[in-house]
Structure 1
Amino acid sequence: MRLYPEQLSKHLQAGLAPCYFIYGDEPLLRQEALDQLRRAARAQGFDERYRFDADDGPDWDAIFDASQSMSLFSSRQIIELALPEKLDKTASDRLRELLAQSHSDLLLLISGPRLNQQQQKTAWYKALAAAGPVIPVFTPDARHLARWLELRLRQHQLAAEPDALHWLTLAFEGNLLAAAGEIEKLALLNLPQPLTLPALQQHVQPHYHFNPFQLLDPLLQGKVKRGCRILQQLRQEGVEAGMLCYLLTKELNTLQSLHAALAGGQSFQQAAAALHVWSSRQPLMQAALNRLKGPKITALSRMLAAADAAMAGFDDDSAWRWLQALCVGFFDDKEPVILP
């Protein structure tokens, strides 16, 4: 059963499941979900808690010892387990063994990193999904962030005018932790409601944050302004141009391979499957191919090669200029502007 963070409160009204798996890369949503589950567990008599981190690999013997021991002072206990990035066969087997031993006086709170589609097909993930709710905690993208902010404001008896809410989405994209803190501050100021854009600009400090992977989708969609804004912020945050060159090279190579396959008579579905393009990314790739023809993709690849060469020559400024021109070049099938 998949359960989203905003659904957790209603779910807990019916009682606790024996196991919860919280996975994803959004620290605020992960921490809030864990805190909510801990509070619900304490209210139901789970007074003893053991925590096991995955920094050096789970100590399975210690985990099983804890799961089978009962304190004189508590008859119900929580075991929190943070999974590593990858689980080998031994860890997978031990995890499934632990899940099989679950009982009403033991609550398992298991957390993990963001999982790809292949990991969600593994035996250990399926065992977790069968044992209790799985709760994905991902940073809302630009389309869903406004809704998240609106709900967060409402929790603090606040509201914002449409243009003010839009400004908040730009000011805190990718940084929910900072957004939550600023909203808490706003609740203490007793400002007139609904909040206006001038009021927010006066009292709120923007704290947006992007990761390199967030640059890719806007470019494939032809959203140049957004792509350039993300690129500029990534540079300000200290992201290496070389990392972006690597990610963009993979993306352009995939586009070139798809274009060649289509030109050779394959269907898009056949070509995407052969190149192992995730189903969630196939619409983006198809949209990009509809907009960008073969010569344009080749031109973009040459620009990327120029950025990579500038990096090799320790000319960071030129590399970033090439990357910006590359972002603009994704707009349509016109020839990209060549920088001097």
Structure 2
Amino acid sequence: MRLYPEQLGKHIKAGLAPCYFVYGDEPLLKQEALDELRRAARAQGFDERHKFDADEGLDWDSIFDASQSLSLFSSRQIIELVLPEKLDRTASDRLRELLQQCHADLLLLISGPRLNQQQQKTAWYKALAEAGPVVPVFTPDARHLARWLELRLRRHQLSAEPDALHWLTLAFEGNLLAAAGEIEKLALLDLPQPLTLAELQQQVQPHYHFNPFQLLDPLLQGKVKRGCRILQQLRQEGIEAGMLCYLLSKELNTLQQLQAAMADGQSFQLAAGKLHVWSSRQPLMQAALNRLRGPKIAALSRMLAAADAAVATFDDDNAWRWLQALCVGFLDDKEPVILP
């Protein structure tokens, strides 16, 4: 069963499952989900807790010893296991063996990083999904961040006017930890409600954060202003221009291969399947191909080549100028981009 962090409270009221797997790339939501499960477990008599990291040096026998022994002071215990980026064959086998040890007085809290589609098809992931709820925790995207902030404000008996809430989404996109901290500080100030834009701009320091992968989707969607904003922030955060060239090269190359396959009479779905384009990204790719014709994609590729050449000669400023021009080049227009 798949649960999302906001569903945990209702789920816990019906009773704890023997095992939970909390995974994802959002540290605040992951920590809060685990804390909520720990509190519920303590309330039900799980007073003893053991924590292990499933790295290469883990002594798995020590986990099994802990799972099968009870102390004099506690009849119920929690075993927490933190999974690494990848599990080798031994770890996968031992993890599945551990899941067979579940009983009424043992709660397994397993956490891990964000998983791709291939990892979610592995035997160990399927075993975890069968043993108990899986709880994915991801950073809300721009569409859902406003709702998350509104609920967070409400938790602290705060509210914000629409334009103030919109400003908050821009100020803290990709950084929920900072947003939570600022909201807690606002709750201590006893400000008039609802909070206004002017009040927030006076009291709150923006702390937005992006990762390089977040640049791709807005560009494919033709949201150039957003793409340029993310690009500027990535540069300020110290992301290397060469990394962005690599990611954009893969994206443009995929678009070109899809375009060529469709020109040969293949359906988009067949071509995307052969190129191993994730199903979640196929609508983005298809929409981009509907907007961007062959000359436009070729022009974008030439811009990227110029940026890559600047990286190779350590001309960082020129590389970023070409990347900026490339982002603008994703504008939805009928004319091909003319290179200077």
The share of aligned pairs that are identical, in percent, is 86
Q: Tell me what 1:46 maps to.
A: 46
Displacement after TM superposition at 1:337 (Å): 5.3
Q: Tell me what 1:185 maps to.
A: 185
> Is 1:142–1:169's contact at 8 Å kept on the other side of the alignment?
yes
> Is 1:325–1:338's contact at 8 Å kept on the other side of the alignment?
no
Displacement after TM superposition at 1:332 (Å): 2.0
> Is 1:325–1:337's contact at 8 Å kept on the other side of the alignment?
no
CA-to-partner distance for each residue in 1:187-236, whole Å, 9 max, x for gaps? 01111111110010010000000000000000000000000000000000
For 1:283-322, list aligned pairs within 5 A: 283-322=283-322
> Is 1:329–1:337's contact at 8 Å kept on the other side of the alignment?
no
Q: Tell me what 1:204 maps to.
A: 204
CA-to-partner distance for each residue in 1:116-171, whole Å, 9 max, x for gaps? 11111111111111111110000000000000000000000111111000000000
Q: Tell me what 2:337 maps to.
A: 336
Give the AA of the match of 1:324. Q
Give the AA of the match of 2:258. L
2:18 aligned with 1:18 = yes
For structure 1, which runs of at least 5 residues remain unmatched after alignment?
Answer: none
Q: Tell me what 2:28 maps to.
A: 28
> Is 1:57–1:84's contact at 8 Å kept on the other side of the alignment?
no
| 3-state secondary structure, aligned to 1:219 | helix
CA-to-partner distance for each residue in 1:281-322, whole Å, 9 max, x for gaps? 000000000000111111111110110100000000000000
Aligned-residue RMSD, C-alpha: 1.0
Displacement after TM superposition at 1:338 (Å): 3.3
> Is 2:299–2:338's contact at 8 Å kept on the other side of the alignment?
no
CA-to-partner distance for each residue in 1:260-280, whole Å, 9 max, x for gaps? 000000000000000000000
For 1:151-230, list aligned pairs within 5 A: 151-230=151-230
CA-to-partner distance for each residue in 1:27-72, whole Å, 9 max, x for gaps? 0000001111111111111111111123445431221111112111
Displacement after TM superposition at 1:87 (Å): 1.3
* Number of aligned positions between the proteins: 339
For 1:240-259, list aligned pairs within 5 A: 240-259=240-259
> Is 2:299–2:339's contact at 8 Å kept on the other side of the alignment?
no
For structure 2, which runs of at least 5 residues remain unmatched after alignment?
Answer: none
Q: TM-score, normalised by structure 2?
A: 0.98
Whole-angstrom CA distance in 2 between matches of 1:210 and 1:120: 25
| 3-state secondary structure, aligned to 2:103 | coil
Q: Tell me what 1:82 maps to.
A: 82
2:98 aligned with 1:98 = yes
Q: TM-score, normalised by structure 1?
A: 0.98
Displacement after TM superposition at 1:90 (Å): 1.6
Deviates more, 1:244-253 or 1:55-64: 55-64
Deviates more, 1:124-133 or 1:226-235: 124-133
Deviates more, 1:220-229 or 1:79-88: 79-88
Whole-angstrom CA distance in 2 between matches of 1:217 and 1:57: 38
